[in-house]
Amino acid sequence: MIRSIRACKTAADERAVVAKECAVLRNAFRDNDQDYRHRNVAKLMFIHMLGYPTHFGQMECIKLIAAGSFPEKRIGYLGLMLLVDERQEVLMLVTNSLKNDLNHSNQFIVGLALCALGNICTAEMARDLALEVEKLLHNNNSYIRKKAALCSLRIVRKVPDLIDYVMVPATSLLTDKHHGVLISGVKLCTELCQVSEVAVQHYRKVCTAHVMSLIRVLKNLVVSGYAPEYDVNGITDPFLQIRLLRLLGLLGKGDPETSDNMSDILAQVATNTEGSKNAGNAILYECVQTIMSIETIGGLRVLAINILGRFLANRDNNIRYVALNTLVKVVSVDTQAVQRHRTTIVECVKDSDISIQRRALELICALVNVSNVKTLTKELIDYLKVSDPEFKGDLTAKISSLVQRFSPNKQWYIDQMILLMIEAGKYVTPDVTRALVVVISNASELQGYTVRALYRVFQAWNGQESLGQVTIWCIGEYGEMLVDHLNEVEGEEPLTVTESDAVDIVETVLKDTRVSSDTLAFCLTALLKLSSRFSHCADHIKALIFEYKGSVVLELQQRAIEFGSILSKHTDIKAALLERMPVLDEATYYSAKQVEMGVDGNQTATSEPHSNGHVAQPNGLAKHLAPENSLIDLLSFLPDEQPSAPDKSPDDSLLGSLGINTLAGSDIMTSPVHPSSSGGANMLLELLSLGSSPAALPVASSQESAASVQPPSLKSSLLDVQPPFAIHKGSSLTQDVLGGQPHKSPTSNADPFANLNSLSMPVASGENAAHTSIVAMQTNGLKITFEFTKPAGSPQTTIIRATHTNLSSSPYTDYLFQAAVPKFMQLQLEPASSNFLPANGDGFITQIIKATNNMHGQKAIVMKLRVSFKSNGQNNLEQAQVNNFPAGL
Amino acid sequence: IRFILLQNRQGKTRLAKYYIPLEDSEKHKLEFEVHRLVVNRDPKFTNFVEFRTHKVIYRRYAGLFFSLCVDITDNELVYLESIHLFVEILDHFFSNVCELDLVFNFQKVYLILDEFILAGELQETSKKAIIERMGELERQE
C-alpha cells in the first residue's frame, strides 16, 4: 500500500488510493477479520500520518489491545497512541485493559502498557491507575522502573493531588545505579519540585543525604573515565548531568546551606568540562543557569559570566544564541559584568540570523544607560541602514525608546531622531513623532537649529511620512528662523534659505503622491502660518491652498476653505491668529502618556515639570483661534487623540467654525456702523465666548464637544486667547458693547454678546470680606486689591471684590479689567462700577468676581489678570498672574 | 518536549508525535508552520527558532528535518544533542538509515521513539540499551 501511495504523482491520485484503501479497511473491520487486523491498523496509521481521517479505526485498536498476544498488543497500543488523543471517550474502554497489562507477568507487556499510559494518560486514568504505577516503581526490572517513573511524572502533571503517592518512591530512584532509571528519577523529582513547594522542602530536609548523593553521582560523571555506553564526544552522559544540574538548581534556590554544599561541584563542572563540543557546551550552559539560580557567592558568578563571555566569542551561532539568552536574564543581577561584552553583543545585532538579532537587541536595550547611550545609538543607527526590512520596525521602535529615555540633552535627541527618521521614516510611529514635536516646542533655543537641520536633510527626502510631518510642522511654526538664522547653535553650518525656498519645500510635499492626507493637512496648516510671516510669498501660498478647495478628502477641503477665508476676508486678525503655537506642555503630555502606557518611571526623567501646570503659558499665548478645527488639529499632534474634523458632520463643523464667519459677514451687511471692524469683532466675540467658558455656555454643539475633549493645555490656551482680542476691539461699537450696553448690538448676536457681558463687565454689589484681602496686582500706576467672601453653603464658590486704584498722576479712561482661570475653575465677572479711574488714588472702581473652584480642597485658586486703559491718550496694557490667594478658597 | 516532527524538504511529515493534546486540524497547521519556519534557514543560522510561545529546535540530516518543540526555558543545546542521539540510534537500527527506511518501517520508528522518549521526557540515554531492547521486542513477535 505504501508503495502504491508513493507511486501517486498528484494529490488527487493519492486521495483516490487512500479512499480505496479506507474502504477495504472498513470492510475488513466490519467482517471482524482476526488474522489481518494488526496489519490493517498499521495501514490505518500510515493513512493517519498522511493527514486523512481515521476515526473508524479506533475501536480496532482497542480490540487489539484486549487480544492476548504481544505483537497484537504492540500494534494496538501504538495505534492507540497515534490515532486517539486523550480527550476522546474511547479511552475509558482501555482503562481496564491497561490495568490488566500493568499487572501482567511479561515485562514487555507491562512496558507497553506503561508506555501507552505515559503518552496518553487522562486525569481519570491517572486516578485509577496511580496505585499500579506506584507499585511498579519498586519493580526489580530497571526497564520497568524507568518507564514507571516517567508514567508517574505524567500522572502528577495530570493530577497534582497524587503527588503524595510518588514522593517517597521517587526518592529511592535517586540512588539507582542504572542511568535510564536515574535520569527518569531525577526528572521526576525535578517535576515534583516544580509542582509543589512541599516537595522541595521534603527533598531538602529529608534528603540532605540525597543532595550529597546527587552531588556524588555528578562528581562520578565528571571525573569518571571513558564509559562507552553513555559516551557523547568524550563526555559521559551529558543528558544525565544536565538533569542533575537542573535539579540541584531547584533545590538550591533560596536555600544558602544547600547552595553552599553544591558550590564545589558546580565549580568543578564549570572548570572541568571541555567546551569544544556541543555536548560539553550544553553542560556548561546548564551549569551557568544553575549557578545563577542558586544562592551563590560572587566567585562562582564571575566564573559563570566568564563562561558566557567565552560562549559569546564562539563562532557557532547556537552557542552565541544561548549566551545571549542567558545574559538577558543575568543582566539585572550583574550589569557591570555584562557591560564588558558590549561590543560583542552589538556585533550580534548585526548577525544575519533573526533569532540572534532579536536576542541581542533585547540585551542591548537592557544594557543601555545614560553613559553609553551615545555610542550604542550610533551603532544601532548605522546598522539600521543595512538591516533587513522586516527587522527595521523592531529596531526603530527600540532605538526611539532608548533615545527618548536616555538622551543626555535635547539637541542630541533631536539629531538622533532626525537621523532615525531619515533611515527608517516609515517605521517611526506617530507616538514618537509627537514626542519629538513636544520636545522641539519646549526647546526654544533649539528651534532654529532644528528647523534648519530638518531643512538640510529634507533635500534628500524620500517619502518618509514621519520626517515629512515633523519638517512641515517645524517649517510652519518656525519658518522665519530658517530665513533669518535665529538662535544659531555653535558649529552649525551657515545656511541660506529664502522665503520661497521654504514654501517650495512645503509644496514638494504637497505635490508628492506618496504622502497620506494627514501629512497634506499638516502642509496646509503650515502654509497658512507661513503666509503671515512670508509676505512675499502670500499670493503663492494662497494659490496653493486654493487648489485644495475641491479636494475629495473632507478634512483637506474643509481646511482649504477655512484657511482661504482667513487669508482673504480676515486679514486684520490674521497675524494674531497665526502666531506660533503655545509651548506644548511636556508635563501634561507625559502624564497623559503615562496613563496610557502605565507608569514608566524613566520617562519622567526627561519631562520637566511645568511650574504651574497648564495655567502658566509663559510666552506667546495662543492666538490661533481661527477655525477652531485647525487648532484642534494642530494639537492633535499631541497626546490625546482628539476627534478631528472628519468625525463631525460637515454641517456641524462648518457651523461651528466657519459658520461664525459667515454669520459675522451677514451682520456686516446689516450693521450700519463700521462694517469691517464690527464684523471682525463679532467673530471675535463669538469665538471668545466659546473659548473662555466652554463649560458654562451652550454654544454650537460641535465646538462644545470638541472643547470638552481637549487636553487641559488646549483649554487654557483658549482661555489665554481672550486678552489679545480685547486689543482688537478698536471700534466704538465693540467698546460700547463691552461697556455694558448690550442692546445696541445686532439682535442676531445678542446671545454671545450677553454672554460676554455677563462674563466680563458686571456691576458690583457690596460684599463683606471674610478672608484677608490681598494685593492682586501692583504696577507703578495701578493697584488692584482683592477681598474675599464665601457665601454660606457653597465652599467651592468665592466672591471676590476687586478694588482698582489709580496711583499715577493722570486719569485712566476706557478702563477694562479681565480675568482668566484654569479649567478646573469657573469665573463670572459682574460689571464694573465704572470705566473711568481718577488719578492720584482719588477714587476707585469696584468689580465683583464670582469664582467657583471645582477642585476645592485639592487645588488652590489661580487667576490671570489683564487690564487695559487709556491714559494721556495712549493705550496701555498690564497683565499679571495671581497665585497668592489665601489658602482655603 | 511538546511534540516531535520529522519532515522532509517538501514538507511531507514522516513522523509526528505529540505529547500535548491537539485537534487534527491544529496539528496539520502546526506541521505546516514549523516546516515553513525551518526549511528556509541558512545552515549557518542557529538551530533554534522561537515559535509561538515555545521554541523549535531543529536539525537537518540530508533531506530530513528533525524538529522538537520545547519550553522556552529548556536547555536548547541538550535537545539538539538528543536529536543527534536519536538519529544515531536510527542509524544503528536500520544500519545506515535513509528516508525510505523511515517511510516503510514507520511503526518501528515510533517504537524506537517510545523507547527513547516517554511522556515528553528523555527515558534512556544509552544507545546500546535501546538497540538491545528493540532486539528483544522484535524477538517477541
CA distances from A272 to A247, A287, B27 (A): 20, 12, 43
CA distances from B77 to A60, A283, A717 (A): 41, 8, 62
Residue A759 near residue A689 (C-beta atoms within 8 A): yes
What's the one-letter identity of residue A52?
Answer: Y
CA nearest to A366, candidates A335, A406, A325, A400: A335
d(CA A205, CA A609): 55
Non-local CB neighbours of A135 within 8 Å, separated by 6+ positions: none
Do the Cβ atoms of B77 and A278 come within 8 Å? Answer: yes
CA nearest to A390, candidates A360, A436, A358: A358
Residues of chain A in contact with residue B45, where contact means CB-CB under 8 angstroms, are 317, 352-353, 355-356
Where is average pLDDT lowest: A250-259, A445-454, A803-812? A250-259
> Mean of the per-residue pLDDT values for chain A?
66
Mean local confidence (pLDDT), A174-193? 74
Q: Is the ipTM beyond the 0.85 threshold?
A: no
Residue A766 DSSP code: -
Where is average pLDDT lowest: A164-173, A220-229, A401-410, A561-570? A220-229
Q: Grid coordinates representing A344?
A: 560583542
Beta-bridged to residue B48, according to DSSP, are B57
Q: Is A560 exposed, middle or buried (0-12, 13-18, 19+ CB in 10 A)?
A: buried
At A776, is the secondary structure helix, strand, or coil?
strand
Q: Grid coordinates representing A838?
A: 481718577
Do the Cβ atoms of A289 and B78 come within 8 Å? Answer: no
State the nearest Cα–Cα gap between A285 and chain B, in angstroms: 8
Do the Cβ atoms of B82 and A239 come within 8 Å? Answer: yes
Residue A486: pLDDT band with limits 50, 70, 90 = low
Residues of chain A in contact with residue B122, where contact means CB-CB under 8 angstroms, are 183, 187, 239, 243
Please state whether beta strands B54-61 and B48-51 pair in parallel, antiparallel, or not at all (unpaired): antiparallel
Residue corresponding to grid cell 499632534: A637
d(CA A800, CA A765): 11
Q: Which of B28, B84, B129 is closest, CB to CB, to A51?
A: B28
DSSP letters, A781-817, are SEEEEEEEE--TT-TTEEEEEEEEEE-SSS-EEEEEE
Spell A357-366 as b/e; 16+ CB within 10 A means b: bbbbbbbbbb
A832 pLDDT exceeds 50?
Answer: yes
Residue A364 near residue A349 (C-beta atoms within 8 A): yes
Q: How far apart are the first and last CA of chain A?
A: 94
Q: Which of B49, B119, B122 is closest, CB to CB, to A119?
A: B119
For the four alpha carbons of A873, A874, A875 and A878, in that order, the dihedral sign comes to negative
Residue A144 near residue A111 (C-beta atoms within 8 A): yes
In A, minimum Cα distance to B85 occurs at A232
Mean local confidence (pLDDT), A177-204? 71
Residues of chain B in contact with residue A49, where contact means CB-CB under 8 angstroms, are 13-16, 106
Do the Cβ atoms of B46 and A237 come within 8 Å? Answer: no
SS (HEC) of A711-729: CHHHHHHHHHHHHHHHHHC
pLDDT one-digit tens code per residue, A321-379 = 777 777 777 776 666 767 777 777 777 777 767 677 777 777 777 777 777 777 777 77
What's the one-letter identity of residue A876?
Answer: N
Best probe of the B interface among A47, A78, A129, A173, by most B CBs < 10 A, is: A78
Which conformational region is residue A785 in: left (phi greater than 0), alpha (psi within -120 to 50 degrees), or beta?
A: beta
Residue A853 near residue A796 (C-beta atoms within 8 A): yes
Residue B134 near residue B93 (C-beta atoms within 8 A): yes
Residues of chain B in contact with residue A82, where contact means CB-CB under 8 angstroms, are 110
Do the Cβ atoms of B81 and A232 come within 8 Å? Answer: yes
State the nearest Cα–Cα gap between A88 and chain B, in angstroms: 10
d(CA A215, CA A301): 19
A470 pLDDT exceeds 70?
Answer: yes
Neighbours of A552 (CB within 10 A): 7
Do the Cβ atoms of A118 and B50 come within 8 Å? Answer: no
pLDDT one-digit tens code per residue, A504-515 = 777 777 777 777
Do the Cβ atoms of A119 and B118 come within 8 Å? Answer: yes
State the nearest Cα–Cα gap between B19 and chain A, in angstroms: 6
Q: Is A775 exposed, middle or buried (0-12, 13-18, 19+ CB in 10 A)?
A: exposed
Where is average pLDDT lowest: A196-200, A429-433, B72-76? A196-200
A226 pLDDT exceeds 60?
Answer: no
Do the Cβ atoms of B114 and A115 come within 8 Å? Answer: yes
In A, minimum Cα distance to B107 occurs at A42
CA distances from A806 to A778, A782, A845 (A): 10, 5, 9
pLDDT one-digit tens code per residue, B6-51 = 888 887 888 888 888 777 778 888 888 888 888 877 777 777 887 7
Neighbours of A858 (CB within 10 A): 8
**What does residue A459 show for φ and ψ, rounded to 5 degrees?**
-60, -30
Helix (H) or strand (E) segment spanning residue A532 = helix A517-533
Do the Cβ atoms of A153 and B121 come within 8 Å? Answer: yes
* pLDDT at residue A852, rounded to an integer: 82
A639 pLDDT exceeds 60?
Answer: no
Residues of chain A in contact with residue B85, where contact means CB-CB under 8 angstroms, are 232, 239
Longest dimension (CA), chain A: 127
Residue corresponding to grid cell 541602514: A385
Non-local CB neighbours of A385 within 8 Å, separated by 6+ positions: A423
Rounded (to 5) percent helix, strand, coil in chain A? 65, 10, 25
Best probe of the B interface among A55, A114, A183, A235, by most B CBs < 10 A, is: A183
A635 pLDDT exceeds 70?
Answer: no
pLDDT one-digit tens code per residue, A744-763 = 333 333 333 333 333 333 33
Where is average pLDDT lowest: A274-283, A598-607, B14-23, B97-106? A598-607
* pLDDT at residue A208, rounded to an integer: 57
d(CA A293, CA B82): 24
The packing angle between helices A107-120 and A70-83, to 10°, is 10
Helix (H) or strand (E) segment spanning residue A88 = none
Where is average pLDDT lowest: A51-55, A109-113, A598-602, B116-120? A598-602
d(CA A879, CA A868): 9
Q: Which of A85, A183, A320 is closest, CB to CB, to B122?
A: A183
pTM: 0.57
Residue corresponding to grid cell 493705550: A875
A179 pLDDT exceeds 60?
Answer: yes
- A-B contacts (CB, under 8 Å): 151
Residues of chain A in contact with residue B141, where contact means CB-CB under 8 angstroms, are 70-71, 74
Residue bearing the bigger pLDDT, B87 or A240: B87
Q: Which of A46, A238, A356 is closest, CB to CB, to B46?
A: A356
Where is average pLDDT lowest: A483-497, A738-752, B3-17? A738-752
Where is average pLDDT lowest: A95-109, A668-682, A761-775? A668-682
Do the Cβ atoms of A353 and B44 come within 8 Å? Answer: yes
Q: Which of A74, A85, A179 is closest, CB to CB, to B125?
A: A179
Beta-bridged to residue A880, according to DSSP, are A865
In B, minimum Cα distance to A41 occurs at B107
Please state whether beta strands A874-882 and B3-8 pair in parallel, antiparallel, or not at all (unpaired): unpaired
Helix (H) or strand (E) segment spanning residue A535 = none
A743 pLDDT exceeds 60?
Answer: no
d(CA A251, CA A729): 83
* pLDDT at residue A667, rounded to an integer: 36
